Structure 1
Amino acid sequence: MKKIICVVLTTIASFANAQSILPKSATEIAPLLIGEKIPDVILKSSDNVTVPIKSLLKKKKTVLVFYRGGWCPYCNMHLSALAEAEEQILGLGYQIIAISPDAPENLKLTEEKDKIKYTLLSDSRGELAKAVGISFEAPENYKSIINVNSKGENKEFLPVPSIFVLNTDNEIEFEFITPDFKHRITTELLIAVLKTLK
């Protein structure tokens, strides 16, 4: 009996350890699939208030955006493009929520710099990015940048830039995941998708 318990505990420990190992590159991630649900994780707002993501997602259909951080010029261009299309996206019955490893105070800077009115949330420890399956081990040349921008919370991971379109049950209805961080979905294509899903 002791042997069986020992084997079971070893198997559980091995599985938990495997789940915590980050993929080595953006092309090795294993994201959630269409039809799966976004897990409920506690994040922080730009005002440093804790926010259970589920409480926001159940309010309205959601365009959920994961970006690398306010330090990334490609992310800033994408966030600005979404800000320009926000009125049209809202008109289709969706809200926009964008998540990065940046600390709350750095989210504030991004809001001001890129004139963002939609919700930005901090996932500094990567709990949601890891649970969704889009985080990977940051290359060495990024580790000091992400450490500074997360106020020391993140020393190891980057999220692959991604968009998930969700219904009010947290279910993924569409996803666009780009291991090449220089390429993002255009707002025109996103709006066409939202119209189709409506």
Structure 2
Amino acid sequence: MKKLLFIFLATLSTIANAQNTIPKSATEIAPLLIGEKIPDITLKTAENAVVKLSDLFKKKKTVLVFYRGGWCPYCNAHLQALAEAEKQILDLGYQIIAISPDAPENLKITEEKDKIKYTLLSDSKGELIKAVGIAYEAPENYKSVINVHSKGDNTSLLPVPSVFVLNPESDILFEYIAPDFKHRITTDLLVSVLTNLK
């Protein structure tokens, strides 16, 4: 009986450790799936105000974007494309919320540089990207950049660039996850998806 109990506890411990292990590469992530809920976590705005995700999501359907940071040219191009399509997205009844590991003051810089009016949020400690299952261990050459842009809160995690479409209850209706950070969903495809989800 003791042996069985030991095996059971050892198995539980292994499972718990596996769930807490951060993948070594972007292709090894295990993201939440369509039908699951985005966890209700508290993040910070560009103005350093604390916001609860569920409070933002319940206002209207959401296009939730995860990007690597304002230092990433591919992310900036994607954020700018979303800004250009924002009116179409708003007209379809959605809001845009984009999240990165950048500290709030760096979100401000991105807002101004990319002429963004939609909401940017800081997940500088990586809590949300871990909970959503899109965090992975950053390559060595990125770690100092992440550290600087998160103001020391994050020294090793990056999100795989992702777009989730949510209903007001935080349920995932659609997702686009790109382990190759150079590839992003086009705004035409996104608008088509949003139109079909109406």
- Range class of TM-score, shorter chain: over 0.9
Q: 1:2 to 1:52 in 2, by over 3 A?
A: farther
Q: 1:152 to 1:5 in 2, by over 3 A?
A: farther
Aligned ranges 1:82-121 → 2 under 5 Å: 82-121=82-121
The 4+ residue runs of structure 1 with deviation greater than 3 A are: 1-16
CA distance in 2, matches of 1:42, 1:125: 11
Q: 3-state SS of the aligned residue for 1:111?
A: helix
What is the TM-score of this pair, normalised by structure 1?
0.94
Paired position in structure 2 for 1:156: 156
CA distance in 2, matches of 1:19, 1:41: 18
Q: Which runs of 5+ in 1 are unaligned?
A: none
- Alpha-carbon deviation of 1:167? 0.7
- Alpha-carbon deviation of 1:18? 2.0
Deviations along 1:18-66, whole A, 9 cap, x unmatched?
2221111101111111111111111111111111111101110000000
What is the TM-score of this pair, normalised by structure 2?
0.94
Q: 3-state SS of the aligned residue for 1:110?
A: helix
Aligned length: 198
Deviations along 1:141-177, whole A, 9 cap, x unmatched?
0000000000001111100000000111111111110
Letter in 2 for 1:57: F
CA distance in 1, matches of 2:4, 2:179: 42
Letter in 1 for 2:182: K
Paired position in structure 2 for 1:178: 178
Deviations along 1:115-139, whole A, 9 cap, x unmatched?
1100000001111111111111000
Q: Which runs of 5+ in 2 are unaligned?
A: none
- Alpha-carbon deviation of 1:15? 3.4
Letter in 2 for 1:181: F
- Alpha-carbon deviation of 1:9? 5.8
Deviations along 1:69-125, whole A, 9 cap, x unmatched?
000000000000000110110000000000000000000000010011000000011
